[in-house]
Structure 1
Amino acid sequence: MKIFMTGATGFIGGATARHLVEQGHELTCLVRDRSKASELEAIGCTLVDGDLSSRPRLAEQMTGHDALVHNAALYEVGIPRDRAPVLRKANVEGTANTLEAALEAGVPRVLYVSTCAVFGNTHREIATEDFRRPDLDSPGGMEFTSVYEETKYEAHQI
């Protein structure tokens, strides 16, 4: 299968890329910084330069692929509130651009990799795909523990 992947230079993305190549898939990886992608190149991945900000360019790069693995996200712990727009642009707008580009390019399969943080505090309840955040109906609104959690939750609403 010919797979287009975002976030392949990260920890989870790198492990996923290695596994996909070992399974015989042809992998094209979107990279912002080629200096972080030498291992991907060494295992036979095709590297394409870019980021998640340009939907038309993403669609062009995805054309002809059988699947998309969208793993890219910006993750920062303890950031000040004024950095929230940076995470929102990457995690929310970037996800929207990526999914719209896949649709435009006719990519038939999409796997979106996210985080359990989108569920918030589950109060020890096991969260399944139909899990509903306990704080959704809270009069004070949802209580996010981090900007990362908030932006990943927003991306799930796309």
Structure 2
Amino acid sequence: MRIFVTGATGFIGSAIVRELLAAGHQVIGLARSDAAAASLITAGAEVHRGALDDLESLRSGAATSDGVIHTAYFTTSSDMVRSAEVDLRAIETFGAVLAGSGRPLVVTSGIGLLLPGCLGTEEDAPSPNSAAAPRVASEEAALALASRGVRVSVVRLPPSVHGEGDHGFIPALIAIAREKCVSAYPGEGLNRWSAVHRFDAARLFRLALETAPAGSRLHGVAEEGVSVRDIAGVIGRHLNVPVASLPVSDASEHFGWLSYVWHFFSMDLPASSTLTQQHLGWHPVQPGLLEDLDQNHYFTNER
């Protein structure tokens, strides 16, 4: 198939591009810069110039494809509502192009949309009180496209999608621990993060594209819950700094403008992928989060 991929040069998207090409698909990657275009050409993909907020570029990219994988997201901590609105408009645009065609659309969502404190499953609907509440509308809009003749599926990713080249929460925690000379965790540190390696996640996106029924909610989760105290412990050991509990009242001072990292680090976000594995035959094989951290590539360069 000829697949249009947004976020095709990103941490997860680039792994998806590699996975699709290895499986024999053609890939058209959305690129908003010359550097992104060059990266796609090097990977063996075609280039489609545009941007996530350029809806005409999204329409034309989807119109010439056999399916769409949407991973791009405007990640800005300063205006989460605006980021979610751009995402929603993109999904609606893809839906309008693909309606009635039966072609696949795979949309990225997050475990953070679920109510924290209990093991989230694929059957759980997003919570309006979740940490990522502005994105709830995107998931709902995507799944509604199943009734319009789109073979849509949603892949919920955990707080940590890890692997070499990660620039998400874990590198931010490492940078703060390096700067403050202490690897801190919230309270007793017993809250959990679900996790997945980006190569396992990429394989799930391909399987969703190829076989997921319309309206599927899928969980890209390899580990149901890794305690944040254990994460902080590995960081502290590699940096040779103390590992310590931090009261919530001290979080703003310790994390400064990265306090939103602490907000997610203090949440209990375990999740299961049992149904996803049963229905799609997806079985994670890459290293887990703590094992990946121990391979040292997270610590070889200051970030």
Mark yes or no: TM-score above 0.5. Answer: yes
8 Å CA contact 1:92, 1:154 repeated in 2: yes
Candidates 90, 94, 98, aligned match of 1:102: 98
SS in structure 2 of the partner of residue 113 of structure 1: strand
Q: Structure 1 residues 56, 115: CA separation in 2 closer, same or farther (over 3 Å shift)?
A: same
Distance 1:84 1:64 in 2: 31
Distance 1:70 1:18 in 2: 15
Distance 2:30 2:72 in 1: 9
Q: Which has the larger radius of gyration?
A: 2
Matched, 1:143 2:129: yes
Q: Structure 1 residues 37, 114: CA separation in 2 closer, same or farther (over 3 Å shift)?
A: farther
> Which residue of 1 is the match for residue 41 of structure 2?
41
Identify, as 1 or 2, the structure richer in strand: 2
Which ranges of structure 2 fall in alignment gaps of 5 or more residues? 142-303
Distance 2:34 2:110 in 1: 26
- Aligned-residue CA RMSD (Å): 2.3
- For residue 74 of structure 1, report the CA deviation from its aligned partner: 1.8
Partner deviation per Cα, 1:6-64 (whole Å, 9 max, x = no partner): 11121010100011111111100111123134332112111111123344442222223
What letter matches 2:124 in structure 1? F
Summarize the alignment of residues 51-66 of structure 1 with structure 2, pairs less than 5 Å apart: 51-66=51-66
> Which residue of 2 is the match for residue 87 of structure 1?
83
Distance 2:86 2:115 in 1: 20
Candidates 81, 88, 110, aligned match of 1:115: 110
Candidates 128, 132, 138, aligned match of 2:125: 132
TM-score by length of 1: 0.75
8 Å CA contact 2:112, 2:130 repeated in 1: no
- Structure 1 stretches of 4+ with a deviation exceeding 4 A read none
What letter matches 1:109 in structure 2? P
> Which residue of 1 is the match for residue 27 of structure 2?
27
What letter matches 1:150 in structure 2? A
Partner deviation per Cα, 1:87-109 (whole Å, 9 max, x = no partner): 133222222223323338x4711
SS in structure 1 of the partner of residue 28 of structure 2: strand
> Which residue of 2 is the match for residue 139 of structure 1?
none
Greater RCO, CA 8 A, separation 6+: 1
What letter matches 1:113 in structure 2? T
> Which residue of 2 is the match for residue 70 of structure 1?
70
SS in structure 1 of the partner of residue 99 of structure 2: helix
Distance 1:98 1:2 in 2: 15
What letter matches 1:96 in structure 2? E
- For residue 70 of structure 1, report the CA deviation from its aligned partner: 1.1
8 Å CA contact 2:114, 2:120 repeated in 1: no
What letter matches 1:152 in structure 2? R
- For residue 110 of structure 1, report the CA deviation from its aligned partner: 1.2
SS in structure 2 of the partner of residue 65 of structure 1: coil
Matched, 1:6 2:6: yes
Identify which range, 87-96 or 27-36, moves more after superposition: 87-96
